Amino acid sequence: MAMSDGETTVSELKVIIKEFCDERDWEQFHNSKDLAIGIVTEGSELLELFRFKDEAQVREMMSGDKRSEVEDELSDAFYFILRFAQMNGIDLSSALERKIRKNSEKYPVEKARGDNRKYDEY
């Protein structure tokens, strides 16, 4: 099964995750709390790969042999995000669209462009 971002929908990914979990009878372990813990745990494992690396080391890591480890940890976090959304009936595309609208109000272009401060620091 060869997939790519340009050809696979979020809905299709949720089905793949559901089938994978159903085959293993994992639904009993996938409550909201444990899936949220999984998101954070896998995000932390991704972050750990970058700890104590300077910008040059990060560039090297992202273009070298360590890239596959980064992809694995990112995919693990994405798996838990998809599973959380699938188990809780969350439409990720509409949730993201709604959040971007909110952030557009918090971070108007005329204030936020080129500025990394938080919205309440303007």
Condensed to tens digits (0 to 9), the pLDDT of residues 24-38 reads: 999 999 999 999 999
Condensed to tens digits (0 to 9), the pLDDT of residues 62-88 reads: 998 999 999 999 999 999 999 999 999
**Strand extents, DSSP E, the chain:** none
pLDDT at 1 over 90: no
Q: What is the mean pLDDT of residues 103-120?
A: 95
What's the rounded Cα separation, in Å, for the pair 46 and 2?
Answer: 24
What's the rounded Cα separation, in Å, for the pair 72 and 69?
Answer: 5
What's the rounded Cα separation, in Å, for the pair 80 and 41?
Answer: 10
> Which residue has tokens 């439409």?
91
